[in-house]
Amino acid sequence: MTYENILREDRDGIAMISVNRPDKLNALNAQTIGELQHAFDELAEDESIAAVILTGTGEKAFVAGADIGELVHQTSITARPLAMKGQRLMDTIESTPKPVVAAVNGFALGGGCELALACHMRFASDNALMGLPEVTLGIIPGYGGTQRLPRIVGKGRAMELILTAKPIDAAEALRIGLVNKVFPQSELMAATEKIVRKVMSAGPVAVRFALDAVNHGTEMPLQDGLNYEATFFGLLAATTDLKEGMGAFLEKRPPKFTGN
């Protein structure tokens, strides 16, 4: 597929996906959502890729929000399918069996914030601004924001951010746990890649199982989640990566994981 609104660059096992609509501050329209959906469907099956970094082109915006020029024409008939299309993309990103990390390089508002929320980790530039301003437009977040934000920052803080529609800066996002780390704008991409490569140095099967255990186990009652975790723990005991990882530790050498 030829993309018009996103870019993909592969760097030694990392897929760099950039939303590329700088004239619109990388706003999400239906075409961009479709292109991202196609890209992440492919990435989930691409054995040459171990991790994904998602960002926006330029220094002003990760994704400034939904494309209001397109959104204003929605009706009660078309709006729900649009929301479900956006939700499907966010679900796909969250369930990708390899780490997906957001490099939030500027505005991440509305649909852009929801896109970042779907990623497994979020790193922000010091000029980032994040929020869900939808109620000021007479709508609510429709791509998962009302569900993922409270799971990340807690119900009270999520209510405040959604109901006041007030965006927060990178320092506040870090304080409430919305982002994992904050870096100077000029260092964001290099710092994010360094962290992602640290994750990639671990056992790939263990990383995949850990993602699954956290994503799905935390949606279960505690005992069910613990059983889910124990199942993965048991499955990993049969892998050669476990033997390699523990052998390398005992022999005081770097491990050489094969994903088996």
> How far is 119 from 97, CA to CA, in rounded Å?
12
pLDDT at 106 (0 to 100): 95
Region 106-112: what's the mean pLDDT? 96
- In this prediction the pTM is 0.94
Region 180-204: what's the mean pLDDT? 96
pLDDT band of residue 77 (cuts 50, 70, 90) is confident
Domains 6-200 and 204-250 fall in the same CATH topology: no
CATH code assigned to 204-250: 1.10.12.10
pLDDT at 238 (0 to 100): 92
pLDDT at 259 (0 to 100): 85
- Break the chain into its structural domains and give their ranges: 6-200, 204-250
Strands 168-169 and 129-131: antiparallel
Q: Which residues belong to the active site?
A: 114, 134
58, 106 contact by CB (below 8 A)? yes
> How far is 133 from 52, CA to CA, in rounded Å?
27
> How far is 46 from 153, CA to CA, in rounded Å?
32
**Tens digits of per-residue pLDDT, 233-259?**
999 999 999 999 999 999 999 999 988
62, 27 contact by CB (below 8 A)? no
**Tens digits of per-residue pLDDT, 122-171?**
999 999 999 999 999 999 999 999 999 999 999 999 999 999 999 999 99
pLDDT at 78 (0 to 100): 87
CATH code assigned to 6-200: 3.90.226.10
101, 123 contact by CB (below 8 A)? yes
- DSSP letters of 116-167? HHHSSEEEEETT-EEE--GGGGT----SSHHHHHHHHH-HHHHHHHHHH---
81, 113 contact by CB (below 8 A)? no
